[in-house]
Chains A and B, each alone.
Chain A
Amino acid sequence: MEASKVIHAIYTDDDVLMSAVKTVKAEKHHIEEIYTPFPVHGLDKAMGLAPTRIAIAAFMYGCVGLTVAIVMMNFIMIEDWPQNIGGKPSFSYIENMPAFVPIMFELTVFFAAHLMVITFYLRSKMWPFKKAENPDPRTTDDHFLMEIAVHDNEKELSSLLQETGAVEINIIDKAH
Chain B
Amino acid sequence: MYTFSNKLKTFSIILMVLGLLGVGYGFMNSHKTFEEVETMLANEASHHGGGHGEATAHADASHAEDTHGDDVHGTTAVDHVDEHKEHVEHVMHQIENRPWSALYVAAFFFFMIALGVLAFYAIQFASQAGWSPVLFRVMEGITAYMLPGALIVLGIAVASGTIGHYNIFIWMDPEVVAHDELIQGKSSFLNMTGFIIRGLIFITGWWLYRHFSRKFSLAQDKADINDNRNFKKSFRISAAFLVFYIYTESMMSWDWIMSVDPHWFSTLFGWYVFASMFVSGITVIALITMYLKSKGLLPLVNDSHLHDLAKFMFAISIFWTYLWFSQFMLIWYSNIPEEVTYFVTRFADYKLPFLGMVVMNFIFPLLLLMNSDYKRIPWFVVMAGIVILCGHYIDIFNMIMPATVGDRWYIGIPELGSICLFAGLFIFIVFTALSKHPLLAKGNPFIKESEHFHY
Q: Does B246 reach chain A (CB closer than 8 Å)?
A: no
Find out whether the CB atom of B370 lies under 8 angstroms from the CB atom of A59: yes
Set B333, B370, B372: member contacting A99, Cβ < 8 A = B333
Q: CA A75 – CA B69 in complex, angstroms?
A: 55
* Stretch in B76-84, B151-159, B299-307, B324-332 with 4+ CB within 8 Å of A: B324-332
What number of B residues sit within 8 Å (CB to CB) of A?
A: 8
Inter-chain contact B325/A101, CB cutoff 8 Å: yes
Query: Tally of A-B residue pairs with Cβ under 8 A?
Result: 12
Interface of A is mostly: helix
Check A98 against B370 for contact (C-beta < 8 Å). no
Residues of A near B332 (CB, < 8 A) are 98
- Provide the residues of chain A in CB contact with B329, threshold 8 Å: 98-99, 101
Chain B positions 336-376 with a Cβ under 8 Å from a chain A Cβ: 370, 372
Question: What separation, in Å, do the CA atoms of A101 and B325 have in the docked complex?
Answer: 9
Chain A: number of interface residues, binned into ranges: under 10
**Interface assignment of B335: CB less than 8 Å from any CB of chain A:** yes
The yes or no answer to A128 lying at the interface (CB within 8 A) is: no
B233 to chain A, nearest CB (A): 35
CB distance from B66 to the nearest CB of A (A): 37
CB A56 to nearest CB in B, in angstroms, measures 9
Contact B335 A98 (CB under 8 A): no
Which residue of chain A lies nearest to B331 when distances are taken between CB atoms in the complex? Answer: A98
80-139 of chain A: CB within 8 A of chain B: 87, 98-99, 101
List, in ascending order, chain A residues with CB within 8 A of B372's CB: 55
CB distance from B230 to the nearest CB of A (A): 33
- In chain A, what residue has the closest Cβ to B329? A98
Q: For residue B334, which residue of chain A has the nearest CB?
A: A86
Q: Which of A55, A59, A87, A98 touches B328 (beta carbons < 8 Å)?
A: A98
8 A Cβ contacts from A52-83 to B: 55, 59
Closest beta carbon of chain A to B340's beta carbon, Å: 12
Residues of A within 8 A of B333 (CB): 98-99
Closest to A56 in B: B371
Which of A59, A87, A98, A101 has most B Cβ within 10 Å? A98
- Alpha-carbon gap, A101 to B321, bound state (A): 12
How far is A87 from B329 in the complex, measured between Cα atoms in Å? Answer: 15
- Is the pair B325, A87 in contact by a Cβ cutoff of 8 Å? no
Q: Provide the residues of chain B in CB contact with A59, threshold 8 Å.
A: 370
**Known contacts A101-B325, A101-B329; A87 and B335 CB within 8 A of each other:** yes
B332 — nearest CB in chain A belongs to which residue?
A98
| Closest B residue by C-beta to A59 | B370
Residues of B within 8 A of A (CB): 325, 328-329, 332-333, 335, 370, 372
Kindly list 10 other residue pairs between chains A and B, CB separation below 8 angstroms, not including A98-B333, A101-B329: A55-B372, A59-B370, A87-B335, A98-B325, A98-B328, A98-B329, A98-B332, A99-B329, A99-B333, A101-B325
Query: Which 8 pairs from chain A and chain B are nearest by CB?
Result: A98-B329, A98-B332, A99-B333, A101-B325, A101-B329, A98-B333, A98-B328, A59-B370
Please report A residues at the B interface, Cβ cutoff 8 Å: 55, 59, 87, 98-99, 101
- Ordered by A's residue number, 6 sampled pairs between the chains whose C-beta atoms are within 8 Å are A55-B372, A98-B325, A99-B329, A99-B333, A101-B325, A101-B329
